[in-house]
């Protein structure tokens, strides 16, 4: 899934976040987005999700300008190709990890008779196959983020948007998550767009980097 920002400007009142931003993310890319707080990293993610709209210019996904799509079903179809993970996990606390993943699959209309096998596949991918029957409160931070990733992966996304996913993790768990994301990118050619402040990732890995500044 190709993502293009075409001369995108975004203002929040008098605050200018982007000015004539041109950017192309190709299918299969692994990209780090970095920059100081307030530089627009989360705004970029939200614009891809169509949660925030440009003040001018266009966000184009698979050749379609999001601002020109009138059919909500088409927006939903594009969103279903996208998995998202956040710094604060955003799991439902009174559901087990298995139930959290099943709910995501149910929302996108995944075949009911295949949900159980799909859950088994993704929890194995993120190395959580012995813990997915527990509730979020029973898991460590690293396990919670892997559970969040499993939920994102379950819908078979073409792109994963990861907004500061290692922000609440210790260095060991942070690197474990990065390794899993690399494996997913290499094995399934899933596009990864990850915002981060962590320069160790950027300096240690040979990935594309988008730096937002001023």
Confidence of residue 1 (pLDDT cuts 50, 70, 90): confident
Alpha-carbon distances of 59 from 12, 21, 25, 163, rounded to whole Å:
17, 10, 11, 18
With contact defined as beta carbons under 8 Å apart, do 58 and 67 qualify?
yes
pLDDT in the model for residue 150: 94
Phi, psi torsion values for 195, nearest 5 degrees: -85, 140
Homologous superfamily (CATH) for 30-52+80-211: P-loop containing nucleotide triphosphate hydrolases (3.40.50.300)
Q: In 10 A of CB 187, how many CB atoms? A: 9
H or E element: which one contains 197?
none
Summarised one tens digit per residue, pLDDT across range 50-92 is: 999 999 999 999 889 998 888 888 888 888 889 999 878 889 9
* In the chain, % of residues over pLDDT 70: 100
Summarised one tens digit per residue, pLDDT across range 8-49 is: 999 998 988 999 999 999 999 999 999 888 888 989 999 999
Alpha-carbon distances of 183 from 54, 57, 94, 190, 212, rounded to whole Å:
33, 34, 30, 10, 26
pTM score, whole prediction: 0.89
Domain residue spans of the chain: 30-52+80-211
């Amino acid at each position: 899934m190709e993502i293009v920002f075409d001369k995108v400007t975004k203002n929040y009142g008098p605050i200018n976040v982007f000015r004539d931003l041109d950017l192309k993310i190709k299918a299969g890319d692994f990209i780090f987005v970095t920059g100081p707080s307030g530089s627009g990293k989360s705004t970029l993610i939200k614009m891809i999700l169509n949660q925030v709209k440009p003040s001018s210019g266009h966000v184009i996904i698979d050749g379609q300008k999001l601002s020109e799509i009138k059919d909500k079903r088409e927006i939903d179809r594009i969103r279903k190709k996208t998995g998202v993970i956040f710094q604060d996990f955003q799991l439902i606390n009174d559901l087990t990890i298995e139930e959290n993943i099943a709910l995501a699959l149910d929302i996108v209309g995944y075949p009911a008779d295949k949900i159980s096998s799909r859950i088994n596949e993704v929890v194995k991918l993120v190395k959580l196959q012995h813990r997915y029957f527990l509730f979020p409160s029973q898991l460590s931070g690293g396990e919670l983020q892997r559970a969040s990733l499993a939920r994102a992966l379950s819908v078979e996304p073409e792109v994963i948007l990861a907004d500061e996913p290692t922000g609440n993790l210790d260095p060991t768990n942070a690197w474990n998550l990065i390794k899993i994301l690399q494996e997913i990118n290499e094995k399934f050619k899933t596009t990864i767009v990850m915002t981060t402040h962590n320069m160790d990732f950027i300096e240690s890995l040979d990935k594309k980097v988008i730096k937002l500044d001023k």
